[in-house]
């Protein structure tokens, strides 16, 4: 690693993800940016995920009993050695230039805490479109307000804090709310760098619990801002 090419730690949580896991890992291995370390945290899988992960010499494999994706992400982050952190879900994939584009921007803009990018959402063949998924999301690239789009300075992640274990579906949204409430500068880059897969087995179909958690997230954000305003007035 050099000053112009700092180490990036890529965290991949997995739970019974053998159907798409190799594709996700390959998209990281094929990144044009180096150096990277790949930390895969297996959240108690009972399928072939472990064998797939271990077949890649570039992957540092960590196993834990099933505790949820937030715990898996936090465990991976705790083991990360990189100056920058990137996350990828087991069923999504990156474009080969993703890290190159985002790290270059962060190195050139030291005031920016993290970057997102555009993403392309696609339906796995044979999957019924979820009610929340607007038709235009499938026909045009959209801002990627999800962790698979995220590259963040580790120092900023430590300031904002870990992923909240209270939220099963919205722990990534909660993190973005907290980063915003903390005033962390960020940028959404115009390039499309993530392919987001929607299929019957992923959490994207579970609209009711996701909606309930989003309401909780909004309330929590409002409460944080009120406390901040009270502190400023004192």
pLDDT value of residue 215? 55
Distance CA 232, CA 229 (A): 5
Distance CA 8, CA 14 (A): 19
Q: For the domain bounded by 8-233, which CATH number is listed?
A: 3.90.550.10
Domain ranges across the chain: 8-233
pLDDT value of residue 10? 98
Query: C-alpha 43: how far from its chain's center?
Result: 16
Distance CA 140, CA 150 (A): 20
Distance CA 132, CA 101 (A): 30
- Phi first, then psi, for residue 189 (nearest 5°) are -80, 150
Helix (H, G, I), strand (E, B) or coil at 86: strand
Contact 29, 38 (CB under 8 A): yes
Contact 160, 176 (CB under 8 A): no
Contact 152, 73 (CB under 8 A): no
pLDDT value of residue 38? 98
> Is the omega angle on the peptide bond into residue 224 within 30 degrees of 0, that is, cis?
no
User: What does pTM read for this prediction?
Assistant: 0.86
CA angle in degrees (0–180, nearest 5) for 105-111-113: 75
| Digitized pLDDT (tens) for each residue of the chain, 234 residues in all | 666 899 999 999 999 999 999 999 999 999 999 999 999 999 999 999 999 999 999 999 999 999 999 999 999 999 999 999 999 999 999 999 999 999 999 999 999 999 999 999 998 888 777 776 777 778 789 999 999 999 999 999 999 999 998 877 788 888 998 999 999 999 999 999 999 998 876 555 454 555 555 556 556 656 656 666 656 656
pLDDT value of residue 166? 83
pLDDT value of residue 114? 98
Burial (CB count <10 Å: 0-12, 13-18, 19+), residue 231: exposed
Sign of CA dihedral 188, 220, 196, 135: negative
Torsion of CA 17, 73, 206, 189, to 10 degrees: -100
pLDDT value of residue 205? 47
Helix (H, G, I), strand (E, B) or coil at 100: helix
């Amino acid at each position: 690693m050099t000053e112009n090419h700092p180490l990036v730690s890529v965290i991949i949580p997995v739970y019974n993800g053998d159907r798409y896991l190799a594709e996700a890992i390959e998209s990281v291995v094929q990144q044009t940016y180096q150096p990277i370390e790949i930390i895969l945290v297996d959240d108690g899988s009972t399928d072939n995920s472990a064998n797939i992960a271990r077949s890649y010499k570039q992957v540092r494999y960590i196993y834990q009993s099933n505790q949820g994706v937030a715990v898996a992400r936090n465990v991976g982050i705790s083991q990360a050695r990189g100056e920058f952190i990137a996350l990828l879900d087991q069923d999504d994939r990156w474009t080969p230039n993703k890290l190159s584009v985002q790290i270059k921007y962060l190195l050139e803009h030291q005031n920016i805490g993290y970057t997102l990018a555009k993403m392309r959402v696609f339906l796995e063949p044979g999957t019924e479109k979820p009610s929340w998924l607007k038709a235009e999301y499938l026909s045009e690239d959209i801002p990627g307000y999800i962790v698979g789009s995220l590259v963040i300075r580790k120092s900023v992640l430590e300031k904002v804090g870990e992923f909240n274990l209270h939220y099963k579906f919205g722990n990534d949204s909660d993190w973005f709310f907290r980063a915003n409430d903390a005033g962390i500068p960020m940028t959404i880059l115009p390039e499309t760098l993530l392919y987001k897969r929607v299929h019957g087995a992923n959490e994207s179909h579970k609209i009711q619990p996701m909606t309930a958690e989003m309401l909780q997230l909004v309330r929590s954000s409002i409460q944080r801002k009120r406390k901040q305003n009270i502190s400023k007035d004192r």
